[in-house]
Structure 1
């Protein structure tokens, strides 16, 4: 874990002893694994300084050296702020994890749409006088609840995008599916594509994109004919969990689009845990999202054991 602190809108980074002799170039490309585009931008704009001067990116640095980095955009935000009382699960100067409620879009899908989680996060940051270059790293369906990860500045966003692409951000979901005959533990490896007969729905298709869902049974409710499962995704296809379980004959409860019984007002799906390496400090984080439904959908499930 790196030692950092914020000085206004600038990040002070202290070179640890384990990094003796490292260069700025290596920090960006090897430690943070950011994109070439982001590294080039910081280099060309002179946004990394040492003792008040621009630093050569190939200059070896001594342990204890303090770099100053200008992380935040000064451009005005293009995301219109919208007030919402956010359920914040984790926050520091670089990232934010929010517990998304049901019936709220992650981001605008149509011109002029402003009542979304992204707009609410923009309001939160602007109200604190912070930079407004917020971006979500991934998304959840409108009716799905749970943890969503946001980056507060472009460098963190670029690093997290790369981590997501390399499947280094682990997401665990809890779902209630109709039926009680599932194996205790299994993997669903079936490609998913668009349903040409329905503009919104997806389906398992040989010509679709690879999609892998691992699951384990947490408990069953025979009287409701429900099974509660924890799911981990290797891929992030649209409606992946919903499509996979519907295809094998166990649609999510409340998910009428995919054949689930209307036991709840929404599909019974919750993003329960996010595990990732912090994009800047390199600390390993695990963030759990409490259930939000009233009346509850997921009863007697201990998130600490997920």
Structure 2
């Protein structure tokens, strides 16, 4: 596979700056990525291998390999999902409910990642599947994947620095009284069940903002945005708030109206790792949640 490179021409105001500061600054390369690039000779200065402590000169060119490895360990498999956007740097998909994002055990198939691997195989690509974030098995909605090591680390930095916006829609049990609010309950492991999380004083800080969209008979449609990304954060927060996600077997109750938790990742906002463009993408509400909303408009839960 031929290597592709990201180039940066040194402007006058950065003449004399140390190369490593150019990489971590305007080129936005993480230190971990720099280590990998150094080992694989993936950093060039005016087309030649170089060292990180050198001073750069105005008009000279820094090149960084956007892909460190093209190894693919997943089994390509036809798994249905909708593509919301794709270019040479990123893939944004609408994950259906009922499938894992990535194999949990070695050799597991039937996941979104297996489907993406098949999609790329059909294009003649052999790329590792690098989701930038995760969605629970029974949560539907929007998810972004970096198609190169550079794109992934760029988006991962946005996620860690809270520049990657994630908005969800949920049907919460009962009537939520507040029109909007912020849930700040700390979240940690549940000592009685390693698969669950719970609100606990010694947990990690977790912040979820919510606003009311529509009050229905026995449930409330709410929009939620994440400031942090703890495992099961929205589900744990809403349950502790007294309004668990409708159909959530782990943190609330089963429902005759829907076979999974009524939670959907609806919107994603981020800066494109290649172009620097501000992007906002949305995933339409899935049929099962839309059907419950219509039903609750006409009859009680």
TM-score, with length taken from structure 2: 0.85
Aligned CA distance change for structure 1 residues 16 and 264 (closer, same or farther; 3 Å): farther
Match of 1:58 in 2: 55
Aligned equivalents of 1:85 and 1:148: distance in 2? 14
Aligned pairs for 1:284-303 within 5 A = 284-294=278-288, 296-297=290-291
User: Which deviations, in whole Å up to 9, do the C-alpha atoms of 1:198-250 show, x marking residues without a partner?
Assistant: 332222111221111100001111xx311111101111111111111111211
- 1:184 lines up with 2:179 in the alignment: yes
Equivalences, count: 290
Is the contact made by 2:258 and 2:288 (CA closer than 8 Å) also made in structure 1?
no
Unpaired segments of 5 or more residues in structure 2? 295-301
Match of 2:276 in 1: 282
Match of 1:70 in 2: 65
- 1:229 lines up with 2:229 in the alignment: no
Aligned CA distance change for structure 1 residues 19 and 252 (closer, same or farther; 3 Å): farther
User: Which deviations, in whole Å up to 9, do the C-alpha atoms of 1:7-60 show, x marking residues without a partner?
Assistant: 964135464979875876444211243222322433454434466544676323
Is the contact made by 1:188 and 1:244 (CA closer than 8 Å) also made in structure 2?
yes
Is the contact made by 2:10 and 2:58 (CA closer than 8 Å) also made in structure 1?
no
Is the contact made by 2:269 and 2:278 (CA closer than 8 Å) also made in structure 1?
yes
Q: Which moved more, 1:211-220 or 1:125-134?
A: 125-134
Is the contact made by 2:83 and 2:94 (CA closer than 8 Å) also made in structure 1?
yes
Q: Which moved more, 1:87-96 or 1:69-78?
A: 69-78
User: Which deviations, in whole Å up to 9, do the C-alpha atoms of 1:175-197 show, x marking residues without a partner?
Assistant: 01011132001001101122223
Find the partner of 1:197 among 164, 169, 192. Answer: 192
Is the contact made by 2:258 and 2:292 (CA closer than 8 Å) also made in structure 1?
no
Question: 3-state SS of the aligned residue for 2:247?
Answer: coil
Aligned equivalents of 1:18 and 1:279: distance in 2? 24
What RMSD in Å do the two structures reach over aligned CA positions? 2.7
Match of 1:116 in 2: 111
Aligned equivalents of 2:153 and 2:189: distance in 1? 28
Find the partner of 2:259 among 253, 259, 265. Answer: 265
Aligned CA distance change for structure 1 residues 27 and 261 (closer, same or farther; 3 Å): same
Aligned equivalents of 1:34 and 1:172: distance in 2? 26
Aligned equivalents of 2:250 and 2:289: distance in 1? 22
Aligned equivalents of 2:12 and 2:229: distance in 1? 35
Aligned pairs for 1:24-35 within 5 A = 25-35=20-30
